[in-house]
Chain A
Amino acid sequence: MAKQFKEVHFNLNGRDVTTVVDVRASLTDMLRGDFRMTSVKKGCEVGECGACTVLIDGEAFNSCIYLAVWAEGKQILTLEGLMGPNGELSDIQKAFIDETAVQCGFCTPGFILTATEILNAGVEYTDDELRKLLSGHLCRCTGYENIFRAVKKTMYQRLGKPWPEG
């Protein structure tokens, strides 16, 4: 059958962009292929692992099960968009390094974007709540504990409270 294309307009990491996509593309395909946002990983591609997570209008979505054409009019944030004007890392990225929450790094961009949604809520979550909020990501390396600590530590930093565990 004839290929079907559509023009899509959205905001990517603070910049208004337009592109023409094949309607069969997933948001992962478009972000990686058309915009070289290679922090958006292709893992399971069926919504199980979270490696492809991006923020859409502030909420975390698995871009592998999201049609590229649905980006129309949305604000999309990938890991690349967290970088400061001079290449600085954000607080949550630094915390991942400090807590050794990164090994192979494949799951890291997705985890950091979900963590960004969690932290932007400005809420002091319990450990159980935090674990539940992070449960849409698989990590085959770290055993999760250091990732959990990095998010929790940043949560307390942002709330201006001492980290209970020290």
Chain B
Amino acid sequence: MYDIKALYEADSVQDAVRLRLEHPEAQIIAGGSDVLVQMREGKRAGKELISIYMIDALRGVTIDGEENIRIGSLTSFSHITKDPIIRKYINVLGEAVDMVGGPQIRNIGTIGGNTCNGVTSADSASTLHAWEAIVELTGQSGTRRVPIKDFYLSAGKVDIRPDEIQTAILIPKESYENTYGYYFKYAMRNAMDIATTGCSVNCRLSPDKGTFERVRIAYGVAGPVPMRAPRAETAATGQPVSRATVERFALTVLEDIHPRDSWRASKALRQHIAVELADRCLTEAVKRCGGEIDG
């Protein structure tokens, strides 16, 4: 038995919005792989819950009328990884969420929960930042869209208003067109472990594959919320596709991120990993674009 004070089950988005307004103290539960564990640990014990898990309309991946990739917030990690649209346009997201926990966690965990928990180590977060995802929220007056970087307010805190639930994550066409990426999860174990650092890089090359038209990079666990490394991106954009550019890009990362010492890893180790991951991820992303790096 869980220590749940009361359970309200929503069977549609409208129903969830109504329950949010009726029960301002209640917390949302999607797959529950964070909520139920925290309840067992006592952190969320005795709370009221609004379950949105049975709202099937929030599951699945589609291309919408504006050519955005639309990922319903309740889509599980394993369904994202298997999805043909994800494989074709943003395969790296499917790969990133395939590194979450173990298989059973990937069947229950949702992308909505992975972003609404506001956790910097969340395996989808750095890729969604690097691809400039848009978060769709639905409340009593309809939907609103928030760029993912503004959605994260501070560690564990995201921009969801009292009447809202997150209903989708969108990847705009401008973001995914001709773009390929790579995610590296640096963790102590191969499975069932949280990232020490996560790094997601993607790039778009010129038609002759000689120049970086656009390079984007984001880290998880480099700060309290997932973050981009804008100076590093600028250092590579417009530059020739070469080992020298990749190395300069990777070193410039240290101007953007300022890791600290902690019991998990020292500052020096974290800096070393950040640079190494940036280098490896960009090198892989170039290969996936059909480009080559000399030397």
Contacts and interface: CB of A to CB of B under 8 A. Distances in A.
Interface stretch (B36-44, B160-168, B232-240, B242-250): B36-44
A43 interface: no
B78 interface: yes
Interface of B is mostly: mixed
Contacts of A56: 107
Interface string A13-55: 0000000001111100100000000000000011110100100
Interface residues of B, number: 29
Interface in A60-114: 60-62, 65-67, 69-70, 72, 114
Interface string A131-158: 0111111000000000000000000000
A23 B104 contact: no
Interface string B18-47: 000000000001001100110011000000
B290 to A, nearest CB: 26
B114 to A, nearest CB: 14
Contacts of A136: 101-105, 191-192
A46 B1 CA distance: 12
What class of interface size applies to chain A in its complex with B? 20 to 34
B264 interface: no
Given A47-B101, A62-B104, A65-B108, A70 B191 contact: no
Contacts of B40: 45-46
B256 interface: no
Contact of A24 (B1, B33, B107): B1
Given A65-B32, A66-B108, A135 B1 contact: no
B104 A67 contact: no
Contacts of B108: 61-62, 65-66
A108 B236 CA distance: 52
B263 interface: no
Interface stretch (B4-12, B146-154, B177-185, B212-220): B4-12
Interface of A: 1, 4, 22-26, 29, 45-48, 50, 53, 56, 59-62, 65-67, 69-70, 72, 114, 117, 132-137
Interface of B: 1-7, 9, 29, 32-33, 36-37, 40-41, 51, 53-54, 78, 101-105, 107-108, 190-192
Given A47-B101, A135-B102, A136-B103, 13 more contacts: A1-B5, A1-B6, A25-B2, A46-B40, A47-B37, A50-B104, A56-B107, A59-B107, A65-B37, A67-B7, A67-B29, A132-B190, A135-B190
